[in-house]
Structure 1
Amino acid sequence: MTHEHEAWLGIDLGTQSVRVLLVTADGTVLGSGSAPLTGRREGVRHEQDPVRWWEALCTASRAALARAPGVPIGGLAVCGTSGTVLLTDGSGRSVSPALMYDDGRAAAEAARAREAGLAVQDTWALPKALWLLGEYGPGLRLAHQPDLIVSRLTGEPPPADSSHALKTGYDLHREAWPETALAQLGIPERLLPDVVRPGTRLGEVSAQAADATGIPAGTPVLAGMTDGCAAQIASGALRPGAWNSVLGTTLVLKGAARDPVRDPTGVVYNHRAPDGTWLPGGASSVGAGALAAHFPDADPSAMDERAAAFEPARAIAYPLVSPGERFPFRAPEATGFLLGDPADDAERWAALLQGVGFAERLCLDYLHHLGAPLDGPLTFTGGGARSPYWNQLRADILGRPARVPEQTEPALGMAALAAYGVSGAGALADVAERMVRVRTVLEPRAEHTARFAEPYARLVDALEERGWLPADVAHTARTRPHSDHGKP
């Protein structure tokens, strides 16, 4: 068991910043720090300088620890953006830029990997590994984003965690690299790291790293997970049937299940929890980014207040942030659309808010169609969850209760994972639930839920007519009842 006076350090390597939280076992945040990151975007290219990650961590960790000097730290874990990779030398130092999670220059390599029987998407880490191999040649090692930071913290290149290794082609069922397919692609064995489960002890903070970061020498370093999984831990959605809906620029649903959710289309894929259970999920391209695109200078709270007069709006939106959809259906050719003409900006805003809610409902319908467990609590997190009006609207559209936690940063999830890994006992869900503090529980209003049934059905029809939504999924969406699913 963990000591009640210890605190836990969670490190989140984001796209725009490195964020560090110092958290007690009961969820009290003793200190936080952040430092900005910048990258290079040109067309499909998106890369960052890995050296900047370490510099930013040093700044952020010192800021977090300065708020609570002398507090003993039980351990730390690091999360990063899923699919971000680079090449390193034998000592763990970077020798290439980092190809970020959405870098799309390895499309041809992704096609090759699919021909070899590996279900990968164009921006996943495995195609990027092939691209880097072509650019830099053999003799180097592939590292995921957290691997580089852990190497600097402990002084030696670590094994990767299986969560980050998933998009590099790691087989979570066999817990092994797919040797035959990788050999067919010409990937040398020494390119890829060993892999361990999240929560595995990787080493401890070295004296040199302690001088740079302020983290005490000897602090245990535990294997982390991707930022999406870290946010799921921070939401407390870890028991089978529980789901976390992360509404940011785009919409991501992540849940927990005893067995993997099988999806032959690959729309839903499964991470593996440290205890061997499964974390199914999918990422949509609808989200709050559509609001920013249509109303770059709007005051969201003022627009929310005006939008409340339009329930439902006469216009129906499918608010894609960028072309192509990945979940609840795969349609690379999909584009956002609006059915009908809003009377004014307030009704257009309402249509966008409701459109995200409809897409979220369709995601849950698709998960039901696949047989995923949905009978646990639903949690709302992400920037969109800062809007009380939108939260209630979404609960009404979904017809089920939803929880909104106080603190949902991925760094909190990593603090919980560190506490779990060091304790070596109990369940991650127990540790996370002690750290997660629920701020609000939203109950759906039946009369409001009923109002949205007809526009939701019209949207489903429109998606099916465009050839994007399969007929059997559309049938599930039309016939599945929506009233008070799940528990608060």
Structure 2
Amino acid sequence: MRSRVQTAAGCDIVIGIDMGTTATKVVAYLVTGEAVAQASHGYPLDEPVPGRAEQDPHAILDAVFRGVREVVEAVGSSRVAGLSFSSAMHSLLALDAAGDPLTPVVTWADTRAAEDASRLRDSGSGLALHRRTGTPVHPMSPLVKLIWFRQQEPELFASAVTWAGIKDWVLLRLAGELVVDHSLASASGLMDIHRVAWDEEALSRAGIRAEQLPRLVPTTEVLPGLTSEAAEATGLPSSTPVVAGAGDGPLANLGVGAVRPGVAACSVGTSGALRVAVDRPAVDPNGGVFCYALTEDRWVTGGAINNGGVVLDWVRSEIAGGDAGLSTAQLLDEAMTVPAGSGGLLMLPYLLGERAPRWGGVARGAYVGLTRSHRRAHLVRAAVEGVALQLTLVLQSMRQADLPIHEIRATGGVMKHAIWRQTLASAFGESIGFPASPEGSGFGAALLGMQALGMIDSIDVAADLVPVAEVTAPAADDVDVYGELLPVFERLYGALLPANVTLQEISSRLPLAH
């Protein structure tokens, strides 16, 4: 393992690169936690047919290169001690012998393998795999995606020399080595989290060999320099160290200072999650939570949901689309005029399927309880409440797994608006702290890089570097409303499941548009 390298004099900045679902954010940090420069570049999440959610890997690589170059131009290349990465989890793409992509990036939101996930769960091996690998058997899992490719695209599957995640491929282009960190590997469904090695049964079910996967490395692994392509694209010296980094979920905990026992991190960006740090890998007996690596002695366990801010993006585009001048903030302001409960309207926010806490493969969005008296403001508020209620179910599952939680910190782009903060606190029935810095995963990547490069002694400094800037307490009346709605919301998943299974089968044969 190459880590704890000596940084050159004057190198006081680590650049955190957060490769998200809809954009890559690049931020330069000092060891004090101060952000001194940043850039962001977006890219689309393509949905060519229902159930598929793909991205162009070259667009993501370009966003990384452009963002790093802009930040380097702002701070000066001589100050950069290294780069460190965060990435959205569960991605998969096939590579040829030259390391070039044979497929788009198949993202966490892709549900094409729903039937394969159901069969594997029903086979009797699903729960055992979940307990060993830390990853629920779900369409998001690269293990299940590999099963789909093997069965549905056998020629492509046979021609693939390597299977990797998007960060693995970006690191190959950036630093010339094909590696996967233990964090993203622990989210693949292919690695035994107790042995920190590829799981033989998982590989067998996927139909691949260990040699077809990137080399496993710790999250603090330091790759010694940049390729000539990357040096030219970023404006950095070829000797610039690159820290492998980790998945965005575990790094979000680090980035908001939730690294001590009992402190949970709730992040809501495009998707959402609730996680708490633990000192050893474990999954509860019922398989209600995931368990992913952060460092060699720190793991995070909890649950993720597919639908966070993406729900509001859809509402703004498709429901409020006729009012081109209305901003997202104005739409949420309008929703705040409606009392909690949205006049008895519930939204199941499963636009991209769903993950925790049920980990089922088939879920579709729905408005339930809609009447003529409901207005746009009700539909918008119900969307926010649907996300909050789903996260509340995740919180319940974590407590049922005996995970101690005595403090919750939240971050994510949507949390800038008061309605999200208040709704989440009231749905949880708990006060929520909001750190001053909104860039949880990117800052987490930078802190991990600082530890790997010897600039800080431990990532535990995160708890002191990330103060809580604001605390939102639950509103008592709203807590009562959400307490009444939650069991109804929970029952609707099962009640609509038979219809959703049939609709998914029908929609697979129907065009989405003319």
CA 1:87/1:443 → structure 2, altered by over 3 Å: closer, same or farther? same
Aligned residue among 143, 152, 157 for 1:126: 143
1:366–1:450 distance in 2 versus 1, CA, 3 Å: farther
SS at match of 1:327: coil
Q: CA RMSD in A?
A: 3.2
1:216 Cα deviation from its structure 2 partner: 2.4
CA change 1:90–1:203 in 2 (3 A) is: farther
Judge which range, 346-355 or 223-232, deviates more. 346-355
TM-superposed deviation, 1:170: 0.9
Q: 41, 45, 52: which one pairs with 1:35?
A: 41
Structure 2 equivalent of residue 165 of structure 1: 185
Residues 375-407 of structure 1, C-alpha deviation per residue, up to 9 Å, x if partnerless? 1x3122122201024313432443322222233
Q: In structure 1, what is the Cα distance between the partners aligned to 2:419 and 2:449?
A: 35
Q: 1:283 aligned to 289, 293, 304, which one?
A: 304
Structure 1 residue 182: deviation in Å?
2.0
Say whether residues 1:73 and 2:80 are aligned partners: yes
Count of residues paired in the alignment: 463
Residue number in structure 1 paired with 2:241: 220
State the distance in 1 between where 2:392 and 2:22 align: 30
Question: Which of 157, 161, 168 is the equivalent residue of 1:140?
Answer: 161
Q: How does 1:159-198 map to 2 (within 5 A)?
A: 159-166=179-186, 167-183=188-204, 185-198=206-219
Q: Verify: 1:320 aligned to 2:361, yes or no.
A: no
Contact 1:87 1:143 in 2 (8 A): yes
CA distance in 2, matches of 1:80, 1:165: 12
**Which of the residues 16, 20, 32 maps onto 1:14?**
20
Q: Which residue of 2 aligns with 1:205?
A: 226
How much has 1:102 moved relative to structure 2? Answer: 2.5
CA contact (8 A) 2:225 2:242 kept: yes
Are 2:435 and 1:405 aligned?
yes
**Matched residue type, 2:63:** A
TM-score by length of 2: 0.79
| Structure 2 residue matching 1:94: 3-state secondary structure | coil
For 1:482, the equivalent position in structure 2 comes to none
Does 2:254 align with 1:233?
yes
What is the alpha-carbon distance in structure 1 between the residues aligned to residue 425 and residue 342 of structure 2?
A: 17
CA deviation vs aligned residue, 1:111-163 (integer Å, no higher than 9, x gap): 67554653421232123334556324157122211111211222232x21112
| CA distance 1:162–1:461, change in 2 (3 Å) | same
Give, in whole Å, the separation in 1 of the partners of 2:487 and 2:203: 40
> What residue is the counterpart of 2:506 in the other structure?
none
Q: Give the counterpart of 1:150 among 171, 182, 185.
A: 171
SS at 1:82's partner residue?
A: coil
Q: In the TM superposition, what is the alpha-carbon distance from 1:191 to its structure 2 partner? A: 0.9
* Structure 1 residues 48 and 458: CA distance shift in structure 2, 3 A: closer
Question: Residues 87 and 132 of structure 1 are in contact (CA less than 8 Å); yes or no, is this contact kept in structure 2?
Answer: no
1:363 and 1:237 map into 2 onto residues whose CA distance is 17
- Give the C-alpha shift of residue 175 in structure 1: 0.7
Structure 1: distance between partners of 2:383 and 2:237: 48
Q: Higher mean Cα deviation, 295-304 or 13-22?
A: 295-304
Q: Tell me the CA shift for residue 168 of structure 1.
A: 4.2
Equivalent-residue separation in structure 1 for 2:52 and 2:341 (angstroms): 40
* Correspondence for 2:402 among 368, 371, 374: 371
SS in 2 for 1:419: helix
Matched position secondary structure for 1:403: strand
The Cα shift of 1:93 comes to 3.7
**Structure 2 residue aligned with 1:244:** 265
Change (3 A) 1:101 1:351: closer
Counterpart amino acid of 1:453? D
Compute the displacement of 1:103 (Å).
2.9
Change (3 A) 1:168 1:309: closer
What letter is aligned with 1:329? R
* 1:256 aligned counterpart, secondary structure: strand
The reply to whether residue 61 of structure 1 matches residue 68 of structure 2 is yes
Which one-letter code corresponds to 1:310 in the other structure?
P
Post-superposition CA distance 1:258-283 (Å, at most 9, x none): 34453345342011220422201212
Match of 2:502 in 1: none
Contact 1:112-1:185 at 8 Å conserved across structures:
no
Query: What is residue 478 of structure 1 aligned with on the other side?
Result: none
Q: Distance in 2 between matches of 1:434 and 1:92?
A: 41
- CA offsets per residue over residues 63-117 of structure 1, 9 Å max, x none? 1111111442222222222121223345544344332332333446546755465
Partner residue in 1 for 2:454: 423
Q: 1:28 to 1:315 in 2, by over 3 A?
A: same
> Cα gap change, 1:102/1:319 in structure 2, threshold over 3 Å: closer, same or farther?
closer
The CA distance in 2 between the partners of 1:178 and 1:268, in whole Å, is 19
Pick which of 283-292 and 76-85 moved more.
Answer: 283-292
Aligned: 1:386 with 2:416: yes
Read off the aligned partner of 1:10 and give its amino acid letter.
G
Q: Aligned partners of 1:379, 1:330: CA distance in 2, in Å?
A: 24
* Cα 1:300/1:42, change in 2 over 3 Å: closer
**Whole-Å separation in 2 of the counterparts to 1:357 and 1:139:** 40
d(CA) in 2 for partners of 1:81 and 1:172?
19
SS at match of 1:404: strand
Percentage of pairs with the same residue: 27
SS in 2 for 1:423: coil
The change in CA–CA distance for 1:254 and 1:420 in structure 2 (over 3 A counts) is: same
Structure 1, unaligned runs of 5 or more: 470-488
Query: What SS class does the counterpart of residue 81 from structure 2 fall into?
Result: strand
Change (3 A) 1:340 1:37: closer
Shift of 1:356: 3.6
Residue type matched to 1:384 in 2? Answer: V
Q: Given the superposition, is the C-alpha separation of residues 330 and 164 from structure 1 closer, same or farther in structure 2, using an over 3 Å criterion?
A: closer
The one of 462, 475, 479 aligned to 1:452: 479
Separation (CA, whole Å) in 2 of partners of 1:334 and 1:96: 26
State the secondary structure of the residue aligned to 2:53. strand
Structure 2 counterpart of 1:163, which letter?
Answer: S
Deviations 1:279-316 (A, max 9, x none): 01212345444444244455454454452562454415
Give the drift of 1:334: 6.1
Give the structure-1-normalised TM-score: 0.83
Mean Cα displacement is larger for which, 211-220 or 36-45?
Answer: 36-45
Shift in alpha-carbon separation, 1:368–1:353, aligned structure 2, 3 A: same
